[in-house]
């Protein structure tokens, strides 16, 4: 996959990333669909594929969840088929990840592909993640609206989060190969102009409450289990049953002391970031001698690593693995989407590859 045309990554990161939308016209000149609509619909029939069908009937929006059958796509009202994680199933779609290699690879969540009939869309909404919308076949009109808060009014629907008040501020008609970047919480509304296909490269971030929960778990594992609350100095009794402010401040001081004096490994962060989107990833049951001659990361695998000086910590599908510092190049190449040959690998590398195979991270095809 070639780099984006008409695009300056440094300028983008400095001016637009997580700040404001950006249209990148002709980002992939001559781009054509990587899979026909029939193949996308075929994926939506499979039990282990996450797919949704959104239909607009007048002022009402209807949602159906897959798996679907051949009769699901015959409605006359405008509809959109959305299939998640197509990059896990179609290698050509997985290659689109490399278009955003100026961002940390562990920020990429998945690539959703949507097909819509004329007038189809999912309504005005906002996401809590960054997204690059690559136009495939056909054309789609994108309207951009306000920056949204958690208090935004939504239309009544048990599952769809459609904005009740969409305040249009810009409009773009995307042609094949155009890309529209939309930051988190910016309202947007895409409508197909004729039949069209869109590739959505989503970059998710963990929720702060999930981060706090994991961090606290790591802290609790290191704390002395028999440490207790101690009363403040110069304790004075107040009214019966009263918890005075000095006791409350003492509790906070003790907690701060516990945080400051307990060393917490930072593995919790990498493990959280690399938790797989779906469970039951297939693992290759291999011995070191039978590793594939060529291999790359499985498109569904989530792998990242941290430099610990003389050693590395590898995070693979939610688990931590120790690795030798010499494996930096191997990991950078794998996380960059490259195919690696076994003869290029040291003995330390081969041991790491075997562990990654056992965790379902390696595609040896």
**125-163 pLDDT tens trace:** 999 999 999 999 999 999 999 999 999 999 999 899 999
Ranges of residues in the chain with a pLDDT under 50 are 288-289
**In this predicted structure, what is the pLDDT of residue 289?**
45
**In this predicted structure, what is the pLDDT of residue 277?**
84
Q: Are the C-beta atoms of 144 and 171 separated by less than 8 Å?
A: yes
**In this predicted structure, what is the pLDDT of residue 196?**
98
pTM given for the model: 0.91
**In this predicted structure, what is the pLDDT of residue 292?**
82
- Read off the tokens for 97: 């990840």
**In this predicted structure, what is the pLDDT of residue 286?**
55
Domains identified in the chain and CATH numbers: 9-203 (2.60.120.650), 208-266 (no CATH), 274-363 (3.40.366.30)
């Amino acid at each position: 996959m070639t780099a984006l045309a008409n695009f300056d990554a440094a300028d983008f990161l400095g001016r637009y990333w997580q700040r404001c939308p950006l249209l990148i016209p002709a980002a992939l000149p001559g781009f054509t669909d990587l899979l026909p609509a029939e193949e996308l619909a075929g994926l939506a029939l499979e039990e282990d594929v996450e797919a949704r069908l959104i239909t607009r009937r007048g002022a009402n929006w209807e949602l159906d969840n897959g798996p679907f059958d051949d009769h699901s796509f015959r409605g006359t009202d405008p509809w959109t088929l959305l299939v998640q994680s197509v990059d896990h199933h179609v290698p050509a779609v997985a290659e689109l990840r490399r278009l955003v290699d100026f961002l940390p690879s562990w920020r990429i969540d998945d690539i959703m592909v949507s097909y819509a009939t004329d007038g189809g869309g999912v309504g005005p909404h906002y996401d809590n993640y960054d997204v690059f919308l690559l136009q495939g076949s056909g054309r789609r009109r994108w309207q951009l609206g306000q920056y949204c808060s958690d208090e935004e009014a939504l239309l009544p629907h048990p599952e769809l989060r459609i904005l009740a008040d969409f305040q249009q501020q810009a409009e773009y008609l995307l042609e094949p190969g155009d890309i529209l970047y939309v930051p988190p919480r910016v309202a947007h509304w895409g409508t197909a102009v004729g039949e069209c296909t869109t590739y959505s490269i989503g970059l998710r971030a963990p929720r702060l409450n999930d981060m706090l929960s994991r961090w606290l778990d790591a802290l609790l594992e290191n704390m002395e289990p028999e440490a207790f609350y101690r009363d403040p100095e110069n304790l004075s009794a107040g009214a019966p049953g009263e918890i005075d402010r000095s006791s409350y401040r003492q509790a906070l001081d003790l907690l701060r002391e516990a945080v400051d004096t307990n060393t917490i490994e930072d593995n919790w962060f990498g493990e959280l970031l690399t938790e797989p989107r779906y469970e039951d990833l297939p693992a290759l049951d291999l011995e070191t001698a039978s590793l594939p001659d060529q291999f790359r990361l499985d498109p569904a695998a989530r792998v990242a690593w941290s430099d610990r000086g003389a050693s590395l910590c590898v995070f693979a599908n939610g688990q931590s693995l120790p690795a030798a510092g010499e494996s930096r190049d191997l990991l950078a190449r794998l996380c960059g989407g490259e195919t690696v040959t076994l003869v290029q690998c040291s003995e330390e590398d081969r041991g790491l590859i075997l562990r990654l195979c056992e965790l379902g991270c390696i595609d040896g095809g």
